[in-house]
Amino acid sequence: MRPLTPTLLAAQRAPGAVPAVRARIEDRELRWTCLLGGIDSARPTAGCTTRDALVRVRISAAGALEVQRIDDPAAGDPWQVWTLLAADANPASDVAISAEDADGDHLRAFYVRGSDPYRVSWLQSADGGRTWSAPSDCFSGLASPSAGLASANAQLFYHDPGDHYLKLALRSGWDTGGWAVHVWAGSGALPT
């Protein structure tokens, strides 16, 4: 045990000393809350946040790319409303969406459209998902519409079922440049 300093000993023995304890307790754990229950989707759905909303995209069973912008996640009604973005999605397609790191209102959504050869297409929104561009193709030549899609910083990661590589599709600018596809060697993905 550590001995008390002479100052602390004197304070301890002084008449009128009142024992006191000061404690600060913090709980910084995030608590998840169910915002809406009972409306599960069996269809591919992806979502991301903007500066002031939650934006989700999905592929319907009929092959439609649909979007949902939810300003107040606690309100139930916006979760029921989907808006058509494109009617040419392959029903077996995956879907991905993300915001650009530099501007949280710049969004890009990705999906697969067409039939053999399948094309990965994209749309973008510069206003947090309120309005969207027309779909454009990033690239074509996928062997199957079931390519796994994921997006981060408004760029695209995907698994090409034809050669079994994990690939990264990058665009040089928000409104300029084409898409360049790179095999992501850092992943250790090898052909099977």
Average pLDDT over every residue of 113-130? 89
The reply to whether 98 falls in a domain is yes
Q: pTM of this prediction?
A: 0.75
The reply to whether 151 falls in a domain is yes
- In order, the DSSP letters of the chain are -PPPPHHHHHHHHSTT------------------SS-S---SS-EEEEE-SS-EEEEEE-TTS-EEEEEES-TT-SGGGG--EEEES-B-TT--EEEEE-SS-TT-EEEEEEESSSSEEEEEEEESSTTSS-PPPEEEEEEES-TT-EEEEETTEEEEEETTTTEEEEEEESSSSS--EEEEE-GGGT----
Each residue of 42-81: pLDDT tens digit?
A: 788 899 999 899 999 999 999 999 999 999 887 877 788 8
The reply to whether 3 falls in a domain is no
Give the CATH number, domain containing residue 81. 2.120.10.10
The reply to whether 76 falls in a domain is yes
Each residue of 126-169: pLDDT tens digit?
A: 999 999 999 998 888 887 888 788 888 878 888 877 777 788 88
The reply to whether 126 falls in a domain is yes
The reply to whether 105 falls in a domain is yes
- Number of domains forming the structure of the chain: 1
The reply to whether 80 falls in a domain is yes
Q: Residue 169 belongs to what domain range?
A: 43-187
The reply to whether 33 falls in a domain is no
